Structure 1
Amino acid sequence: MKLTIEEARELAHRVMRRLGHDASEASIIAEHLIDCELRGIGYGGLARAVSIAERLGRTEDRRRPMAILQETPVSARLDGGDRIGYVVGHRATEIAIQKAEAAGIAIVGASDTWYTGMLSVYAEMAAARGLVTMIASNASPWVAPHGGTEGRLGTNPICFGFPSEAEPVIWDIGTSAIIHAEVTLAGRLGKELPPGVAYDGAGEPTRDPAAALSGAFATWGGPRGSGLGMVVQLLGIMAGSAPLPPDLEGFGFLIVAMRPDLLGPEDAFRRNVAAYAQTIRETRPVPGGGPVRMPFDRSRAERDRRRGEGVIEAEDAIVATLRRIAED
């Protein structure tokens, strides 16, 4: 189904308001979801709003006000109050930006949250203010470590952001072979998973989304991705999560923000970032291959294209479900 961008944004906003978020929170969540749609990441867009409704329906409303538990001029520990990570991550990033602009560097951890979304959203916020960032978020143990078939770490995204004289450089990846939202959406649509990305509860390879959700996902990148996922799990623990957060609750989110002028002139750094990005894009491609890209180039181009067209495409079943929620 085709929706205008504004129709999709308004639908997401109405659903979030119906689920008990205030107008400001609903706007933050809706913008995050629509950014996913614009970048071609449909499983993290409107489909995620259905999962948010299901999670709140399962746990009922346990939300508390966010509160700073511990603070210094360069750090803060934020209690997310069981609020969704789009809101908690946004607030943690705002705090990190304020502190880094004042002191040059900042680290902010947030706990008791869930569904932190695309970490690149927060990296773009900070890059727009001239800050370098490292961001990590752990999750429930849906992913098996390399060589295992039982969940011991989350899908665990990690992200780095660099301001530039041109477009910022953003690298944002999950450390699992498939993302939880992808599996959930495949189940909703009656589709199989790709081979080699999940195990069932008995430890056997599976392409069935329901079996994968009751089993475990594989890691991305073999032992390297597995190790990186463990590092993200530990950074989430540093932010205040339990070692293995319960299902869709108690995630840890960590952001480190730095002013590049701590180590040299900011304008020179920005020029060098832009120059390096250009050398990457000018790399000779493999025979028959397309142009070499920097991280985030595809997302940025897709977002610009869809904004130009003014429409997104969403699954009919997802839109129908969201309209029911909004009107309930």
Structure 2
Amino acid sequence: MKIRIAEARALVADVMSTYGYDAEQSAIISDHLIDTELRGFSQGGLARAVTLTERLDDSEPFGPITTIQETVSSLAIDGGDQAGYIVARELTERLIDKCETSAAVVGTARNTWCTGMFSYYLEILAAAGLMGFIASSGGPYVAPYGASEARFGTNPVAFGFPTDKDPVIWDIGTSSLMLADLTIAKKHGAELPTGLAFTASGETTTDPSAVLDGGTITTWGGHKGSGLALAAQLLGMMAGSAIAPPWLTDMGFFMFVVDPAALSPDFPARASEFVEIMHATRPVDRDQPVRVPFERSIALREQMRAAGEFEVEDRFVEALRGAASRRPA
């Protein structure tokens, strides 16, 4: 079905309010999920909102976000088991404030889950003229290179750079497949590519059900991706999170922010110049010009906003409407 953007935004906010989030917090979660949807990653949009309700239904009431440690250039917070969309957004905003007096700041968050797309926070940083790096750890679902037993989370990492125009943002997971890839493949009865997954007993498999039933997936990029996943795991642990937390609990979130003006005042202009140099690079396929990360995402979002609506599976909308109907009067 098609749903109007404004309707979807209001629906998600209404649902979040049933779980104790106030109007501002509900709007933050909704904005992040809808932005993800508009940029073409539907697994992280209304489908993810349904996952949030399932997790919140099985959770104890969450607590407040608290400060663990703080200096002029660092901040460590405890998310109180709140959804990461709220926790990571607060960390981002507080680090931006710190950059008014410190050229480089670092922050972490623990006791949180589902922080969403890192590019969302990096876009906020870039709008403030700041460069950012983010990494996160989570529950074990990914095997190190050469192994068939899970030790890593899907452990995304992301960089964001301000320019005179749109930011350059590179945001990836360090696993060869994401959990959403497995659930979608299972739903459609599709097999996984060979060599990317193992059963619970360590046998290679292309069956997504076998992977979801205690199996594991490989890292992206072989031993290089495995090293990157390890680094993300350790950075997440720097937040004080558990080494191997259960799924959707206590993800470790790490953010490093730099004010380029303290190092190179004309950096945004030179970054824009380099983007144009990238665009002018001779492509292998003349019908596929070279682009930089995040460009496709921005273009798709603008197209979706102009249309005013997007396509979504009926079951997700129905599930959310059912959850919203439980809203207290």
Q: Quick check: TM above 0.5?
A: yes
Query: Is 1:138–1:156's contact at 8 Å kept on the other side of the alignment?
Result: yes
Residues 91 and 193 (structure 1), Cα distance of their counterparts in 2 relative to 1, 3 Å cut: farther
Deviations 1:181-210 (A, max 9, x none): 3333444x3443532332221222334333
Equivalent AA in structure 2 for residue 10 of structure 1: A
Distance (Å, rounded) in 1 between the aligned partners of 2:57 and 2:83:
14
Partner residue in 1 for 2:226: 226
Distance (Å, rounded) in 1 between the aligned partners of 2:4 and 2:219:
36
Partner residue in 2 for 1:305: 303
State the percentage of identical aligned residues: 46
- In structure 1, the residue corresponding to 2:154 is in which secondary structure? coil
Partner residue in 2 for 1:118: 117
Distance (Å, rounded) in 1 between the aligned partners of 2:74 and 2:222:
34
1:119-138 pair list within 5 angstroms: 119-138=118-137
1:47-86 pair list within 5 angstroms: 47-58=47-58, 60-86=59-85
Does 2:165 align with 1:166? yes
Deviations 1:35-84 (A, max 9, x none): 111011000110001111111222x2241100001010000110111111
Equivalent AA in structure 2 for residue 233 of structure 1: Q
TM-score (norm 2): 0.94
Equivalent AA in structure 2 for residue 277 of structure 1: V
Matched residues, number:
324
Query: Is 1:36–1:44's contact at 8 Å kept on the other side of the alignment?
Result: yes
1:188-207 pair list within 5 angstroms: 189-196=187-194, 197-207=196-206
Does 2:320 align with 1:319? no
1:70-109 pair list within 5 angstroms: 70-109=69-108
- In structure 2, the residue corresponding to 1:80 is in which secondary structure? strand
- In structure 1, the residue corresponding to 2:225 is in which secondary structure? helix
Distance (Å, rounded) in 2 between the aligned partners of 1:262 and 1:75:
17
- In structure 2, the residue corresponding to 1:154 is in which secondary structure? coil
Partner residue in 2 for 1:42: 42
TM-score (norm 1): 0.95
Partner residue in 1 for 2:239: 239
- In structure 2, the residue corresponding to 1:78 is in which secondary structure? strand
Query: Is 1:95–1:108's contact at 8 Å kept on the other side of the alignment?
Result: no
Query: Is 1:47–1:185's contact at 8 Å kept on the other side of the alignment?
Result: no
Distance (Å, rounded) in 2 between the aligned partners of 1:95 and 1:164:
22
CA-CA distance at 1:288 after TM superposition:
5.2
Distance (Å, rounded) in 2 between the aligned partners of 1:310 and 1:234:
41
Partner residue in 2 for 1:157: 156
Structure 1 residue runs without a partner (length 5+): none
Partner residue in 1 for 2:272: 274
Does 2:6 align with 1:15? no
Does 2:190 align with 1:216? no
